[in-house]
Amino acid sequence: MNGVRHVYHQYVVRVEDEFPASRERLMEYLQAKGVGSAVHYPKAVYQQPLYRDMGYSDVSCPVAEDVSRRVLSLPVHPALSAEELQYIAETMNSFEA
């Protein structure tokens, strides 16, 4: 679409079972290398207090729950330089358990 631009809000990656370490271990590694990361949604949406209070406490969404345990967000915003983005990518690619 014309006139539409990316907002560069989050770049989310999912740590699969085959990955050589846990999400938490990957986050520790990134932090040690100076790369921030975050878990923005530690629970599936329906598990958030607002939705529980709305009566969704007996809902089960196992895929959403699994994803919420595996994802983390990497830094991505317009203030990052090309070199910083390259460093983030190289740091992710150089991870070894």
Q: Predicted confidence band at 81 (pLDDT cuts at 50, 70, 90)?
A: very high
7 pLDDT exceeds 90?
no
Torsion of CA 53, 58, 61, 65, to 10 degrees: 60
Confirm whether 69 is domain-assigned. yes
Q: pLDDT tens, 63-80?
A: 999 999 999 999 988 889
- The per-residue pLDDT for 41 is 86
Confirm whether 44 is domain-assigned. yes
What is the pTM for the complete model shown? 0.82
Sign of CA dihedral 14, 15, 17, 18: positive
CATH (domain of 84): 3.90.1150.10
Confirm whether 5 is domain-assigned. no
**Domain count across the chain:** 1
Confirm whether 6 is domain-assigned. no
Residue range 55-68: mean pLDDT, rounded: 89
